[in-house]
Amino acid sequence: MHRSCGIIVLLLLFAFCSAYSYVSGKESQGEMKVKSKQDQAWTDMYNSFELYRAFFRDHYPVGIYTISRHADSYEEALAYFTQGFDHQMAVDIISTYTFYDPDSKKLLILPTDGLPLLQPENPNLIQAQFLDENKVLFQRYFDDYYGENTRYLYRVFCSYEKDRWKIYRLDWEQIQ
């Protein structure tokens, strides 16, 4: 009895396994490489925005201004931001959202609105498109963002530098 049950189980297992189509060789490896590359680009882009958010969130007051806990000087801020942004984008962020105070000898945060951030809560709304092997574009549409019947397109361009993806350009465009 046990022997016939074992044979039946083996036959069923063989039937299920032979019905499944296996893909092997270079075709499957290439597909896995593309998926992992896109996942890595997404993760690095998200981490770059988290780096940006942490710079402005983790701060302490000095008079009416605030100082980031991540950098006291322009050089420190540049080293911090170039972890997730290309050099020029890091310079643009620092010059737009901070200023140097000669009295305190510190880099102060300007009280203003910041960059829109892409978040992982709903990645289905974000489209990814590889422009070439080392550049990817993430984009998302925002409906009714500044008022009813408005639509904006936010585009985040990333390039692969050394061992990670870095943001090198941001576009915010009104569509309607």
- Judge whether 92 and 130 are in contact, CB under 8 Å: no
Percent of all residues in the chain with a pLDDT value above 70, rounded to a whole number: 78
Would you put residue 144 in left (φ > 0), alpha (ψ -120 to 50) or beta?
left
Say which DSSP state 175 is in. Answer: -
Name the band, by pLDDT with cuts 50, 70 and 90, for residue 35.
low
Tell me which of 3-17, 63-77, 92-106, 121-135 is least confident: 3-17
pLDDT higher than threshold 90 for residue 54: yes
The Cα 86–Cα 18 span in angstroms is 50
Residue type, 140: R
**82-109 mean pLDDT:** 96
In the predicted model, what is the mean pLDDT of residues 80-99?
A: 98
Choice among 31-35, 44-48, 108-112, 165-169 with the minimum mean pLDDT: 31-35
What was the pLDDT predicted at 61? 92
Could you tell me which of 38, 60, 72, 57 has the C-alpha nearest to residue 158?
38
Domains of the chain: 31-174 (3.10.450.420)
Output phi, psi for 105, to 5 deg.
55, 40
What are the tens digits of pLDDT across the range 98-145?
999 998 899 999 998 999 888 877 667 899 999 999 999 999 998 888
Q: pLDDT at position 3, please? A: 54
**H helix or E strand, kind and range, residue 57:** helix 26-57
User: In terms of pLDDT, which residue wins out, 34 or 23?
Assistant: 34
